[in-house]
Each structure stands twice: as structure tokens, then as C-alpha cells.
Chains A and B, each alone.
Chain A
Amino acid sequence: MSNGLAAHADPHGHAHHPALQHHFQTLDQQHEAATLGMWVFLVTEVMFFGGLLMAYLLYRVWYPEAWSEGSLELDIRLGGFNTVVLIASSLTMALGVRAAQTGAQRTTVRWLLLTMALGLTFLVVKFFEYKEKWDLNHIPGPNFVFEGPQEMSDHLQIFFSLYFGLTGLHALHMVIGVSILSVITWMAHRRRFTPEWYTPVEISGLYWHFVDIVWIFLFPLLYLVDRAHQLG
């Protein structure tokens, strides 16, 4: 970078930004490569969730009554609340990235802390949702309880298996996301980021938004779908 901020002399004898790796020519190129790499990873993540969504779709086509019944068993208020919390966390994340872009370091830390707090709120609500399912014996397996025909009970267990599979995998991603953000927040607190180099904030933001997008699909697919059909 021509910009002399924090420049130092390297073994090759020319000055560059300390964050610039030797195999890149400019910070712009490095930033582009890092972002692209994150996107490639996110594509694999889409396919990862895609397999489960495919199973969801097929069983929904086969057992629409069980899907309708199953979505009624889920708490739409908690699911809706979590949707709002997660979308709000995406907003705070985007504002955190923006603060890093503009060099507002303390603001970056504040937005990142808020993002983590919202992420943890989501996980706490999710815990109580799971606990309710546990108390109602809605965990698929030998102890599954459903007042109704055996066939419906069997099909509902498939619905709940996919519910726990999809939301569990999503919750795992949230835990990983919060862990990544705690490291990024610490780096931001140590003033490691500048408007010239904030790539870690940007690509953890991409990951966080991806996890938000997964929930944007899971909420209607699990909580809302076919609900109206039960109401007549």
C-alpha cells in the first residue's frame, strides 16, 4: 500500500502493510481472495444444509398431514421472537463491519458485543424450546408420545427428527459463530483492524449472515408451513 500507516520494511526491502502476506501483491487482492474463499466455503455449507432440506422436502410431499400437525406443535411466538433476534443480530453485524471499514474501532467492538449478545439470546430461547419438547416427550425414539394414530405418530417422529437435525445443526453454527466473534471482538479491542485491513471482521460477518439466512428458511419451513391447514 502506498499509504504509510503502520508500514514497515520487510526482508525484500520494500515497505508494506504488516497484514499483507508475501504471496499477495496488494491488500485489495488479499481481501478479494479471502472473501472469495469464504464464499466458496459458504457454498459447501449451502449444500450441507441442502441435503437435510432435501429430506425435509421429500417427506413433506409424502406426509403433508404430519408436517401440518408438527408445525402446530412448535411455538410460533418463540420461533418468531428468535427470527427477529437473529435478523437484528445481522443488522448489528453489518454495522460492526461498517464501523471497521470506517476505522471506528470502539464502535466496532460495541456492535460486535451486541451481535454476540443477540446470538446468545437466540441460543437461550432455543434451549427452552428444546426443553419443552423434552418435557412433552416429543424427542423421536422409543419414548416419543403422541395422542393419535400410530401412523401419524411415526410420521411425526420423522418431522421432529428433521426439526432437531436442522435446528440442531443451525444452533451448532450459532455456537461456532459466537466463538469466532469473541476472537474477532478481542482483536478489534486490541485495535488490530484499520480501514486498510479489516478482512477478518468482513468474512466472519459473511459467516454470521449465512447462519441468519439458514434460519430465515428454517422458520417458515418448520414453524409456519401448513399451519393454516389445521385451523380449517
Chain B
Amino acid sequence: MAGHVSPTKVYYTIFGSLMVLTAVTVTVAFINLGGLNFPVALGIAILKATLVILFFMHVKYSSRLTKLICGTAFFFLLVLFGLTLSDYLSRGWFTAPGGTTGAGTRVTIGPATPAPPAEP
């Protein structure tokens, strides 16, 4: 019948690895790595998700079609993040001669004109 039956040992090993990775990510969160904190936390999360997908969700033993469908989720997620960020992050990089420097820069929340500092 369909479906690969993994030995229980596999599941316990994956669970153990996920616990270790959780401990690592919490520990690293208390160490100031500057700009590296975010990529490290994200990298560990991606590794954990991969373990769950491959072993708990049986993608490792699934058909190629299932693997492909699973892959499209992450492909389109990258398209969403990549294209959106390439727009927002590149705003204000270049200004055409005679153009307005302010055009397309970040959206500010609150009053349009910054209020003068209230504190003495």
C-alpha cells in the first residue's frame, strides 16, 4: 500500500534535532551578532522546517510531483519577497535630473510634518 513506513527511531531522531535547534536559536538570540542575528535565526528556522517537511510530512519518500508542488510554495514565496523588496528597498536610490528626491521614499506614519520636540 501507498506510503513509506519510517522506523519510529527516525521520528524520535528528528524530534531530538528539532529540540536542539530550538535551544540553539534561543541561545543565539541572547548574543549580539549585529546584522547576523536575523539571518542566523531565519537559517535555523528554515533548517527546522526542512526536517519537518522531509521526514514528518514524508516528502522525502513522496512522488516527484508532490516534491514539485511543495517546491512551488517556496519558489512563489521568494518571488513575493524578492520582487516586493527590490521595489521598496531601491526607492530613492536614483533621482532623475529635475526629479523630486522625496518621491517614493518610505511612508511615514503620523502627522505629515514632524512636530517640534515637545520636551525642553
Contact A58 B88 (CB under 8 A): yes
Please, could you name 29 A-B residue pairs with CB atoms under 8 Å apart, sorted by A? Answer: A27-B1, A27-B2, A31-B2, A36-B69, A39-B69, A42-B70, A46-B76, A46-B77, A50-B80, A53-B81, A54-B81, A57-B81, A57-B85, A58-B84, A61-B89, A91-B14, A95-B11, A98-B11, A150-B110, A158-B109, A197-B1, A206-B57, A209-B53, A212-B56, A213-B53, A220-B41, A221-B45, A224-B25, A225-B41
**A contact set with B: CB distance below 8 Å:** 27-28, 31-32, 35-36, 39-40, 42-43, 46-47, 50-51, 53-54, 57-58, 61-62, 76, 80, 83-84, 87-88, 90-91, 93-95, 98, 101-102, 150-151, 154-155, 158, 195-198, 202, 205-206, 209-210, 212-213, 216-217, 219-221, 223-229, 231-232
With a CB–CB cut-off of 8 A, which chain A residues contact B63?
32, 36
Closest 5 CB pairs of A and B: A224-B29, A31-B2, A220-B41, A46-B73, A228-B32
With a CB–CB cut-off of 8 A, which chain A residues contact B89?
61
**How far is the CB of A205 from the nearest CB of chain B, in Å?**
8
Contact B84 A154 (CB under 8 A): no
Give residues of chain B (13-37) contacting chain A, Cβ–Cβ below 8 Å. Answer: 14-15, 18-19, 22, 25-26, 29-34, 37
Contact A35 B22 (CB under 8 A): no
- Find the residue from A35, A83, A197, A221 having the highest chain B CB count within 10 A: A35
User: Chain A binding site: helix, strand, loop or mixed by DSSP?
Assistant: helix
With a CB–CB cut-off of 8 A, which chain B residues contact A212?
52, 56
Contacts A98-B11, A225-B41, A228-B29 given; indicate if A155 touches B109 (C-beta within 8 A).
yes
User: Chain B binding site: helix, strand, loop or mixed by DSSP?
Assistant: helix
Give residues of chain B (36-67) contacting chain A, Cβ–Cβ below 8 Å. Answer: 37-38, 41-42, 44-45, 48-49, 52-53, 55-58, 62-63, 65-66
Is B3 an interface residue, CB under 8 A from the partner? yes
Point out the residue from A87, A158, A206 that lies within 8 Å of B15, measured CB to CB: A87
Point out the residue from B5, B42, B84 that lies within 8 Å of A102, measured CB to CB: B5
Point out the residue from B15, B25, B58, B73 that lies within 8 Å of A43, measured CB to CB: B73
With a CB–CB cut-off of 8 A, which chain B residues contact A35?
62, 66
Provide the bound-state CA to CA distance between A206 and B59, in Å. 10
Contact A213 B32 (CB under 8 A): no
**How far is the CB of A85 from the nearest CB of chain B, in Å?**
11
**How far is the CB of B50 from the nearest CB of chain A, in Å?**
9
With a CB–CB cut-off of 8 A, which chain A residues contact B29?
76, 220, 223-225, 227-228
Contact B11 A43 (CB under 8 A): no
Residue of A nearest to B3 (CB): A101
Contacts A58-B84, A220-B45 given; indicate if A87 touches B18 (C-beta within 8 A).
yes
With a CB–CB cut-off of 8 A, which chain B residues contact A206?
57
